[in-house]
Structure 1
Amino acid sequence: MEGLFTANNVWMMVCTALVFFMHTGFAFLEIGLTRQKNTINILFKNIFIITAGLLLYYILGFNLMYPGFAEGSSGFFEFAGFGIAPPEGGMTPEYADGGYTWWTDFLFQGMFAATAATIVSGAVAERVKIGPFMIFTVIYVGIIYPLAGSWKWGGGFLDMRETPFYDFAGSTLVHSVGGWAALVAVYLLGSRIGKFKDGKPQAIPGHSIPLATAGVLILWLGWFGFNGGSVLSADPELTSLTLVTTCLAAAAGGVVAALVSFLRYKNLDLTMFLNGILGGLVGITAGADQMSPENAIVIGAIAGALIVFAVSFIDRLRLDDPVGAIAVHLICGIWGTLAVGLFGALAGVDQFISQLVGVLSYAAICIPSSFIIFFIMKKTVGIRVSEKEELEGLDGHEHGMSAYADFRMNEH
C-alpha cells in the first residue's frame, strides 16, 4: 500500500510539473502570434498570472474550490477558511484514496487555476492596459474560478444532480471559464488599430511563427499532465487510455483544421494547423478517460473543423482575438463538454442534458462577472492603452524595455 501511494504521488507531482510547463507554451504561443513590440508586455502578464495565481490559490482559492459542502447545502457557495492547513491524514494513504497527498493536491489544482486568466491574456494582447489586466487576474483567479470550480470538482450542485455534470479535466471548468471572459474582454476592449478595414479583417502577422509552433508542442506535452494527472492516481490502464485519447484527438484536430483551411482558403496555413491541435486537445479534455480511441479521433476532428469556422465567424463579428483563444478554448471547450453526452461510457440523453446545464451554468457566472469587472474598470481607470502607445508598442511605454535589445528593423 505504501509503495503504491508513493508511486501515485510521484506521478501526480510529475503531472504538476508538466502543467506548470504549459505556461511556457502559452507564453511562446502568445508572443509568437503577436508583434515584436509587445513581447515584454505579454511575458510580464504571463509571469504575473502564475505567480499571483498560486498565492491567491493558497490564500483563499483552494478552500473556496474544495470547501467540503455540508449536508443539505445548496452546493453553490461555501468557504473552508483561509490558508491550506492539511487535514488529519492529509499526508497518508487515507487521503484521496491513496492517490496523492494534500500538498500535491493543492499544487496540482493551483496550476490549473492560473490557466483561465492566461487564456484571456492572449485574446486581449497588444492593446490592454497592464494594470487593469492585473486587477482582473486577481479577482477572476482568486474568486470567480474557484467558486465556479466548486460547483463540480468541489462537489457542488452540478455534481449533486441525479445525472451529474461531467468534466474530467476542464473543457468547461478551465477552458470555457477562460474563454467566456476572453469573449467579454475582447468585446469591451475593441479591435487593434488596423485589424479591420472597411469592415473586412486584415491579417496582422505575428513576429515569430517558430516560437508559436514551439509553444503548441510544449502545450501538447503539458497536456500529458493536464489530462493524465486528472486521473488523480497512477492507475496504469486509465492513465494510458487518457494519454492515447488525448494524443489522437490532438492529431485529428490538427490534420482536419489544416485540411478544412486548405479547402476553404486554398493555402496551407500553419497557424490554423496549430490551433487545430489545441482545439483537439481542449475538445477531448472533458471526457478523455471515457472515450475509445475512435471516439477521440472523431471529437478531435470535429474540434479541428470548428476552429476554422469559428475563427472566421469571430472575425465577421468584428471581434479581434490575436491568438484564436476564443475559438480554441470557448468553442472547442463547449463542444468537448457536450461530446461527453454523445460518445463514450456516459453517452445518453440524460447525460447530454446535464452537460448542457453545466455549459449554461458556467456561462451564467463567467459572462456577468467578467463583464462587471472589465466594464467598471473601463468606465473608471480605462482598460485600453492610447493610440500612440499601441502604435509604438507596449514594451517601451509600459515597461521601458525591449525584448530584443540589439534588434533593428532596418538591419538584415
Structure 2
Amino acid sequence: MTDKKQKKPMSASDYIKHMPHLQGKPLTTQNQYSALAEFPPLSYSKAVISQSGQSSNTNQPPFQKASYHLKSYNQHLNTTHYTKEITLKELYSYTNHLFYGDALNPTDNVTKNRTFYEYILVDSKSIEVTHYPDPKNPNHISYSTCKILRVASMQQLGILNLHTSKNFSQPGFVLPGYTYVDYMQAFFRVLYLRPYDHSWFLSFDQRFNKHVPGWFNEWWHWFGPIDQIYPPEIIKTSYPFYTKHLPNTNPIGPLNKIYFHTDMGIPWICSWHFNLVLALPNMPYSLVKEFRVKWWDKYNIERCSLTNIKKLFDANKQDHLLIKSVSRSIPLLTPSQIANIPPYHPPTQIKQEPPSPAKNKKPSSPTHSSSSSQKSKSKKSKLQAMKETLKALSQEMMNISSDDDSVHGQEPAENPEDLFGGPLSQDPFVL
C-alpha cells in the first residue's frame, strides 16, 4: 500500500478562497447572491435631475463583475489553545462551543442575542431590515438588507446616561428595554447573523442625520467600504470633487465618506467570517473576525457625475439661504435679555373671612394695634426676602441653562455658516 500524502488542513481563508460565490464570481450552480443583482435601484434625490433621451452606458468600458476585497485588519476576539492550523470543521466546532447560536459575540447574557439587538434598532426607528430566505430552503436566509435611518444620541432617545434603561415602545420581548450601551452594541452585533455564506446589503437613508456620534466611526471601520472597491471614476474624480465643495470639510474620521454615501445613495455589500491567525507575538493562534466588502454592480454610476453633484450642492445652498432668511426675520432673545426679565409671581389671593357680629367684636387696644402693625411689617419683610431669593434663583438657573447650551453645542457657532455647531455636536457622551 502506498502512503497517502497528508493534506494541509483547510483554514477559513482557504474556504473563502476556494468558494467562487464568496468572491463575487459566477457559479455553475445557483448563486446565493444572484438575488442581490435584482435589488431595485435606489431612488434619486430631489436635487438630481435625470437626463432623458441619452443612455449613460454608451462610452463605458465592458462590464466587470465586482469581487470581494478582504480588509487588511481583523477584529481580535480571544487567544486560543491552538498552536497549529486547524481544519474548517474543527473551527466550526470551536466557535459553536464558544458562542451561543444567535449571539456570535462574547457575552455574559445569552438573552441579549442578535434578535434583541435587531429589535432595539427597529424599535428606535434606526434601521429598516429585511431578511430574504432561500427559495429552496425557507429556513435558510440567503441575504439581508439594512438601511440605516439614523444613529441617535442619548438625548434623542430620551436616555439620561449610559446606565439608564429605556422601555421598548412595543412590549412583548423577553427584556422590557435597553440601555444606550445596548444601542451602541446593536449596530455592531446585529450584523453577526451567520459567518462565511451570508451577505448584507447596506445603505444610508437620504434623510439620514449626518451629525453622527463619535463611536459610529468605529462601525464604519469594520463594516464600511474601502477604497479598493470603488470604480476609478468615483475615487479619482467624483469623491474629490464632492469633498472640495463641502461647506465644512472634516478630514478626521470617515465622516466625509458617510456624507458622500448618503447624498449619492451609494450602497455596498459586506460579509464576515471567523478565522485563526497568529495575531500576538509568542502566543498561540487567535480567533478573529475578518470582514469583506464589495461594490454593488447595479448602482447607476451616472448618479455620481460632476453635474449631479453640483446640482446637489446648489440645491443645498438654496435651502440654506432660505433657512437663513427665515431665521433672520424671527427675533430671538439673547441669554442676557432673558436674564433681565423679572421673574413672574402669581398674585396671592387673600382669604377674606366673613365679618363677625358686632356683639362678638372686641374693643381694640393699643397693644392689639401695635402687634398688628408688627405682624404686617414681618409679612412684608418675608415677602421681600422671598422675592429676592426667587430672583437670585432665576438668575442662577439662567446661567446654568446658558452653560448647558454651550456644552451641547446649541450656541451659535463662530462660523455663521455652521448652523449645527460642528459635525460631532450630538456626541452621546456629552451629558
TM-score (norm. length: structure 2): 0.27
State the structure with bigger RCO (CA 8 A, min sep 6), 1 or 2. Answer: 1
TM-score (norm. length: structure 1): 0.28
Bigger share in strand: 2
Bigger share in helix: 1
